[in-house]
Amino acid sequence: MRSLIGAKQQKWLLLAPALTVLALISFVPFVQTLWLSFSDSEISALPTVVSFIGLENYIYALTDPDFIDSLGRTLYFTFVSVGAEVILGVAVALLLNQQFKGRTLMRALIILPWAIPTIVNAVTWRLIYNPEYGALNSLLMQLGIIGEYQSWLGNPDVAMNMVILADVWKNFPLVAYVALAALQTVPMDMLNAARLEGANAWRRFFKITLPWIIGPLLVIIVLRSVEAFRVFDIIYVMTRGGPANQTKTASFYVYQEYFSYLRSGSGSSYAIIVALISIILIFGYYKAAKRQNGSL
């Protein structure tokens, strides 16, 4: 009974540590950012008057065609890398769910890319793509696939995809692991029954396996999408946004407004736009998941 009486106080006691840290580190700056996004605040060591300017920052950002382009690119990065991670991850999980010699070793091996720090990953792929001495050029040349060395990160038509490849390499293992775990829970009898009814492997996968593992996959898709939409570090190291802006994602604009142009008000509005789109993305996934579950 004691626990029921104290439930209310207990709730807050349990929340206290998380609340304290987040209130200090995240909420206060969050609210501050929200307010700044409607102001003309700038970074200055001189006393300045900050005034409320309504939606002006948002209008400025959303009428900048370069920023709109960057939003498109960020969505491209998000969908293509997360999409590739999911397809590759599920395929690998199906593969590792088979019985073969050395399965345990193979399962341990694929965690490797994911454990490599982002910065190391970015630096490694940069070296691999190096136009003069890179491994990719040398390999493709020796295999006779290319006739001369290419400038992978300098070519506006492929640079983004090369960055995506590096990102997929690092992040697909997590998806594979989740998918593998989910596969263990697919009821064998359902699969066997379908097999007896003459459903081919393809059909069995889409009708039984996939719906069964989509729930756990969705968790990881949301997680990866939020991360991918804020992507900064890997691009900062690999291309700095070039060539000709082709890898300049939305986070770069936040960075640029704050740290290059010193407009904290405007920078805040860019940040809020990025956060809002993330939330819309998640909401979209959530809706999709609901529909998926409803049809089951």
Peptide bond into 243 cis (omega under 30): yes
Among 82, 160, 174, 228, binds another protein (CB under 8 A): 174
51 C-beta neighbours (distance < 10 Å), count = 10
Task: Establish if 21 lies at the interface with another protein (CB under 8 A).
Answer: yes
Cβ-based neighbours of 200, under 8 Å, separated by 6 or more: none
Binding residues for another protein, total number by CB under 8 A: 124
Which three-class secondary structure state does DSSP give residue 26? helix
The C-alpha atoms of residue 60 and residue 62 are separated, in whole angstroms, by: 6
Give rounded-to-5 percent helix, strand, coil for the chain: 75, 0, 25
Among 132, 147, 294, 295, binds another protein (CB under 8 A): 132
Give least dist CB 17 to another protein, A.
4
202, 236 contact by CB (below 8 A):
no
**Identity of residue 118:** T
Q: Which stretch binds another protein (CB under 8 A): 79-87, 117-125, 202-210?
A: 117-125
Task: Establish if 162 lies at the interface with another protein (CB under 8 A).
Answer: no
- Residues 42-71, mask of contacts with another protein (x by CB under 8 A): xxxxx-------------x---x-x-----
Task: Establish if 153 lies at the interface with another protein (CB under 8 A).
Answer: yes
Among 58, 114, 205, 285, binds another protein (CB under 8 A): 114
Task: Establish if 118 lies at the interface with another protein (CB under 8 A).
Answer: yes
The C-alpha atoms of residue 295 and residue 172 are separated, in whole angstroms, by: 28
For another protein, the closer of residues 83 and 113 by Cβ is: 113
Which three-class secondary structure state does DSSP give residue 23? helix
Task: Establish if 211 lies at the interface with another protein (CB under 8 A).
Answer: no
Q: Which stretch binds another protein (CB under 8 A): 76-84, 90-98, 202-210?
A: 90-98
- Residues 236-275, mask of contacts with another protein (x by CB under 8 A): xx-xxxxxxx----xx--xxx-xxxxxxx-xxx--xx-xx
42 C-beta neighbours (distance < 10 Å), count = 15
